[in-house]
Amino acid sequence: MALTLRRNKGSELTWDEVDDNFEGLKTDIDKIKLQTPQDTDTALYDGDAIWTGSGLTYYVYVEEFKIDGVYQDLFISAEKTLAPLDAGTYPGMKRKDVFAVETDGAGNYYIIVVQGPIGVVPIEPTLDASTQLKISSATISAGATTPDGVNKTIIYAEGEPAEWFVNTSDPAKVVLADTTHIISGSQSIYCNGPDQDTTILFSAPGSVFTSSEILLTFDIKLDTVWEWKSSKRTTIDLYLYDTSDRFVDRLRVGSDFGFGFDGYNTTDVQKVVVRLSRFPGFFTKNTFDRVEFKFKRTSNDIFKIDNVALVTGVEYNGIVKVPTTTADLINKGTNLYDNKTFIEADYTSPAIGDMAYWNGTEFIVDKIQIGGGNAQNL
C-alpha cells in the first residue's frame, strides 16, 4: 500500500507538511491502540505532577489514561497541597503520598491525594486499580515545609542574575522582557506573529545532569487559537543541547501532543509540563546546558511565555506510547533497514526509495523525491 501525500489538486507538499503528515499518522495510530478495550488494563499515557516551588504544593494534571480498561482522553488539573507531618508526634518519621486520578464510576474523574502510612521507611499506599490510577508520588519528612528531594531552577521569570541567559533569532517579533504584555510578575516573553523556525534559546550558566526525575515547565497564554489536528500544526518544538550538540529529537507542544496544553484555550494561563526523559535520545548524554524553543506556523499568532523552570525530584508513573503495527497501515522492513517500520510515500511520482520508517520513536522520512529532482534526505 502506498501512502500518497499530496494536496487534493496534486500540488507538492512542503517539507514541513510532509513531516506533519507522518506525525499526524503516528498520533492517529496511537489513538487506535489506546482505545482498544483490554479488560483490566490501567495505565497513564499523559499526566504528571510537578512541585510548584512553594511549600508542599504540587500542580497535577492528567489527560490521557485508562482505568480498568476504560480509555479517557480528558484533561483534568488541580493544585494539591500535601498535609504536613508533625515532628512532635512523629519524630524522625516520613510519609509517602500518591497523586492519583479517581473515577466515581459514573463518568466523573478527579485528581486526589492518597496518604501513605507513616514510618521510618515510607511506603506508598495501596490504590484500588478498578477506580484509581497513580500519577506520581511525594515524600514528606516530619517537620519539613517542603517535600523531600525536590528542587526548582528558574530559567526565565524576572530577569534575575541567577536565571539563564536568553536570546532569540527575531527580537522584533519576540520581545524577551516585555513589561506591557505580562502573565505574572514584571515581565514576560511576548510573541507577536513570530515567523517559521523563529527560536528562543535558554543557556544555562553551567551543566545540568540528565535524570528521569527532571521536568521542564513554562506558562503560556494564547491570544489566538492554535491550529489543531491538521497537516499544518501550530507548535513549539523543544530541543536540548549539550554545548553545540543538539543530542535529542524534538518534542512538540501544540495540536494534540499533550503536556497539559490546549490550543483552543485563549482564556487561561496554561502550565505546560514536559518530563525530559520523554525526549528521544535524552540519556545519550550525561548533561545538557541549553533549551531551545522553535516556533512552527505561528506567524499569525500572538502569545506570551513566562515562568520557565526546571523541577527535579518528582517520580513518574507514565509509560511511553508506541504505535500499533497493523498489516493495513505499516509493513515491517526486510532489507538493509531491517527492524524498522516502513510506509511508502508517493509525492509527485513513485520512485524507488521514496518511503519513511518508524525508528521506535518517530517517523523518519528518508530519500523523498519531490518535483522530479534528486532524492534527498530530510
- Work out the pLDDT band at 14, boundaries 50, 70, 90: low
Indicate whether 376 pLDDT > 50: no
Q: 121: Cβ–Cβ under 8 A, 6 or more apart, which residues?
A: 94
pTM of structure: 0.76
In a 13 Å sphere around the CA of 72, the CA atoms on its Cβ side amount to: 24
Q: Choose the weakest-confidence range: 10-14, 147-151, 339-343.
A: 339-343
Per residue in 215-235, pLDDT (tens digit) is 999 999 999 999 765 567 899
Q: Which domains does the chain have, with CATH numbers?
A: 2-34+325-366 (no CATH), 43-141 (no CATH), 151-312 (2.60.120.260)
The confidence score (pLDDT) of residue 63 equals 92
The confidence score (pLDDT) of residue 327 equals 29
Q: How many CB atoms lie within 10 A of CB 30?
A: 17
Indicate whether 336 pLDDT > 90: no
Indicate whether 270 pLDDT > 50: yes
Determine the Cα–Cα distance for residues 229 and 27; give it in Å rounded to an integer. 10
The confidence score (pLDDT) of residue 232 equals 73
Q: Which tops the pLDDT comparison, 325 or 162?
A: 162
Per residue in 75-116, pLDDT (tens digit) is 999 999 999 999 999 999 999 999 999 999 898 999 999 999
Using the structure block, give the residue that is written with the C-alpha cell 520523554.
278
* Burial class of residue 353 (count of CB atoms within 10 Å of its CB; 0-12, 13-18, 19+): exposed
Determine the Cα–Cα distance for residues 245 and 201; give it in Å rounded to an integer. 13
Indicate whether 152 pLDDT > 60: yes
The confidence score (pLDDT) of residue 315 equals 82
